Structure 1
Amino acid sequence: MAAPGSNYAVSVRSVTKRYGNFTAVDDLTFDVHSGEIFAVLGPNGAGKTTTIRMILDILKPDTGRIEVLGGPISDRTKERIGYLPEERGLYRNVPVIDILTYLGQLKGMSRSDAQTRATSMLEQVDLGENIKSKVSELSKGMQQKVQIIATVLHHPDLIIIDEPFSGLDPVNTQVIKDLLYSLNSDGVTIMMSTHQMQQIEEMADRLLMVDHGHRVLYGSVQEVRDRFAENAVIVEGEGNWNALPGVASVENAENGREVLLHLASGITPDAIMQEMATSQNYRVRRFELAVPSLNEIFIQVAGGNHNHTQPSELPVRS
C-alpha cells in the first residue's frame, strides 16, 4: 500500500466489488502516479465507473484497500479532488458566474476568490461573453466547458473526469485539452475515463484497461502499443518490396503511398533497414514500425466477439 508521501496519487490494491451474484470489479490492482495523466478505458459495463466511485468513497469495496493522495480518503482529502461524473448536472436557470461562484464556495473558496477565478477561467475557454448567461441558454458544448471549470475551480491536486470531451467539437476539444495540459504542467494529477482512444493516445502517460472487472492492460501508452506490434514495418518509397530479403509478404496501404512489409520469422526491422540502406534498388522516404493504434488494440482485446479472458492470459505489465 502506498505510504504517506509516496509518489502515488491513487493506489488500489486487490479491490473487489460485488452486487449480489454479479462481480463488477474483481481483484483489481493499479496505481496512478502523482503528476501524470492516467487513462482508464474499457467497454461499457467493464467496471470503470464502479472503480472511480470506490476511489471517491461513494461506494465501499467488499475487499481490498484504496488510498488517495497519500492515505485513506477523508473529508479533507475530498476537498483536494475535482470530480466530473459522466452524469452532468447544473442549475439550469442560474447565471453561469453565480453557479460557479457557489460551487467554488462549497469547496472552501471565498466568494471573491471563486468569482475572480471563475471569470478568468470562463475567458480562458472562450465563454467570457457568457458570464451572465443562464445555463439553459448555453449549447451542450458550452455547458460541458462550464462543468469542467466547476471541477477544477478550487485548485484540486487530483482531477477525476469521466468523458471530458463529450459534446465538444474539435475546436472546443482542443480548448479543454489545453486547459488540462496547463493544470497538469502545474503538477495536478489527472485521471481520465473516456472512449475516445485518440485523446488517450495523445494525452495519457499511462493507462489501465478493465474488462469484466479485471485488469487486462496496464502500463505506458507506448508500452501497450509496442506489446501488440506486429513483426512488420511501414515503408514509403520506391523499390521491389517483394524481392527484399527477409520480407514474407507485402500489403499496400489504402492511401497508395505506403506499403506494409510483413517480416519473416527471425527477421528484425533493423535488418530490413540495413538491406535497404546497402542496396541501390530502394529509395526510402519513410520507415517506421507497424505499431497498432489504441483503437485497434481496444477492438482486439475488448471487441464484441472476445472471450471472457482472464488477466493472466493477456500481456499485462505492472
Structure 2
Amino acid sequence: MGEGNLEIDGISKRYGAKVALDGVTFDVRGGELFGFVGSNGAGKTTTMRIALGVLAADGGEVRFNGEKITHETRTHIGYMPEERGLYPKMKVLEQLVYLAELHGLTANEAHRNAETWITRLGLAERRRDEVQKLSLGNQQRVQLAAALVHDPAVLVLDEPFSGLDPLAVDVMSAVLREKAAAGVPVVFSSHQLDLVERLCDRVGIIRNGRMVAVGTVGELTAEGGSKLVVTAPGARPGWTAGLPGVRVLEEHETTTVLGLEPSADDQAVLAAALSTGPVTEFSHRRRTLTELFRDAVTEKGEPR
C-alpha cells in the first residue's frame, strides 16, 4: 500500500430533496497535508464519511492509488471522526491494542504500536486509565493514537484540533507533518484557519456541498491582487486618487491599506506617497486564508 493519492471524484449525495454534496472533486497526494475547510453543514463530514465508505455516495467515486476503494483498502485508512468514537469503559492501552488487531495487526505489532503512540502522545501515565476518566484533551490524544496505531496508508481526520490546548496542537501538528513526510496523504478539516494556513500544502474550500476553491495557500491568497500597507505621516486623504487599479480599503491616522489589482503599479503608489513627504512603511500583505475563506463562503449573497 505504499505512497499513493486519495482521489475524491465527482461525489454527490442527496437526502430527499436536499443536495448535501454536488460533484465534490479533489485529490490528496501522497506526502501532502490537505486542509479541508467550510462552514458548518457545508459537507465536510459527509465527504469524509464517503471517502471512508461509512456512507454510500449517490454518484462519483473514491479511489486510492487509482483503484476504487474497497473494504480491504479501508483497513489501511486512519480515521478520526468528529464525534469521537472510543469505548468509554475500556482502558487506553487495551483499546489501542484492540483497534490495531481489528485492522489486521498481530498481537505483538499491536502492542508495540500502541506503546509507541502512547509514549509519543504523552499518555504513558494514563495507559491503564479508562477513557471516560480522562480529560477531553487526553481523550483527543487517544483518538489520534487510534487513527495511527495500525500504520495507516491514508489519514482522514475530522476536526482533529478542536478542544486541544496549544501544547497538544504542537504535538498533533508534528505527528501530521511526520506522517506526510513518510509519504502518507493526510486530509483534515478544521475551523482554525491560521493553523490550516501554517500547516497545509494545499487547501480545499467547500460551500453548500460544492468545492469553491482548491489550491496551495499561496495560489489561493494571491488571487484577487494583493494589499499594500503605506504609512505616510504627511499624506492627506485622497492622495491615491488617479492611480489606476488602486482602491483604498482602510484609512487609519497615518496609515492607508490599499487593494491593488494585478495590473496596478506599486512603484507609482510609492512615488505618490513620497511626494507627500516621508514614507515610514511600505509593505505588501497577502490576503490571509481567513479573508479568502470569508469571501469564498459569502459570495453571491449566500448566507454565511
Q: When the two structures are superposed, what TM-score results if normalisation uses the length of structure 2?
A: 0.86
- Measured in 2, the distance between the counterparts of 1:209 and 1:50 equals 14
Q: Indicate if the aligned counterparts of 2:232 and 2:276 stay in contact, CA closer than 8 A.
A: no
- DSSP-derived class of the 1:44 partner: coil
In the alignment, the residues of structure 2 paired with residue 36 and residue 116 of structure 1 have an alpha-carbon distance, to the nearest angstrom, of 27
2:8 corresponds to: 12
- Structure 2 alignment gaps of length 5 or more: none
> Please, which of 204, 210, 234 is the counterpart of residue 240 of structure 1?
234
Distance 1:250 1:188, change over 3 A: closer
Cα shift readout 1:210-264 (whole Å, capped 9, x = no counterpart) = 111111111111211111445x3024x65534557947648356xx896423559
Between the two proteins, what is the percent identity of the paired residues? 32
The secondary structure found in structure 1 opposite 2:100 is helix
Q: CA deviation at 1:125?
A: 1.9
Matched, 1:268 2:265: yes
Preserved contact between residue 6 and residue 185 of structure 2 (Cα < 8 Å): no
* Residues 1:67 and 2:63 aligned together: yes
Matches within 5 A, 1:1-318: 9-230=5-226, 232-235=227-230, 239-242=233-236, 243=239, 246=243, 249=248, 251-252=250-251, 259-262=256-259, 267-272=264-269, 275=271, 281-284=277-280, 287-289=283-285, 291-303=286-298, 306-307=301-302
Moved more, 259-268 or 53-62: 259-268
Per-residue deviation, 1:141: 0.3
Runs of 4+ in 1 over 6 A off after TM superposition: 276-280
Q: Secondary structure at the match of 1:129?
A: helix
Distance change (3 Å), C-alpha of 1:265 and 1:79: closer
> Residue 295 of structure 1 aligns to which amino acid in structure 2?
T
Give the deviation of 1:79 after TM superposition: 1.9
2:257 maps to a residue whose letter is L
2:4–2:185 contact (8 Å) kept in structure 1: no
Q: Could you tell me the TM-score, scaled by structure 1's length?
A: 0.82
Over 3 Å counting, the alpha-carbon distance change for 1:139 and 1:266 in structure 2 is same
CA distance in 2, matches of 1:87, 1:250: 41
Partner amino acid for 1:251? E
Structure 2: which amino acid aligns with 1:138?
Answer: L
Preserved contact between residue 84 and residue 148 of structure 1 (Cα < 8 Å): yes
Structure 2 Cα separation of the partners of residues 101 and 250 of structure 1: 56
- Number of positions where the alignment pairs a residue of Structure 1 with one of Structure 2: 299
Q: 1:296 to 1:278 in 2, by over 3 A?
A: closer
Contact 1:69 1:77 in 2 (8 A): no
Q: CA deviation at 1:127?
A: 1.7
Contact preservation (8 Å) 2:10, 2:61: yes
CA distance in 2, matches of 1:78, 1:285: 54
In the TM superposition, residue 101 of structure 1 has moved relative to its aligned partner by 1.0
- Contact kept, 8 Å, 1:8 with 1:31, in 2: the verdict is no
The amino acid across from 1:43 in the alignment is S
Residue 195 to residue 279, structure 1, CA distance change in 2 (3 Å):
same
Q: Provide the rounded CA distance (Å) in 1 between the counterparts of 2:213 and 2:206.
A: 7
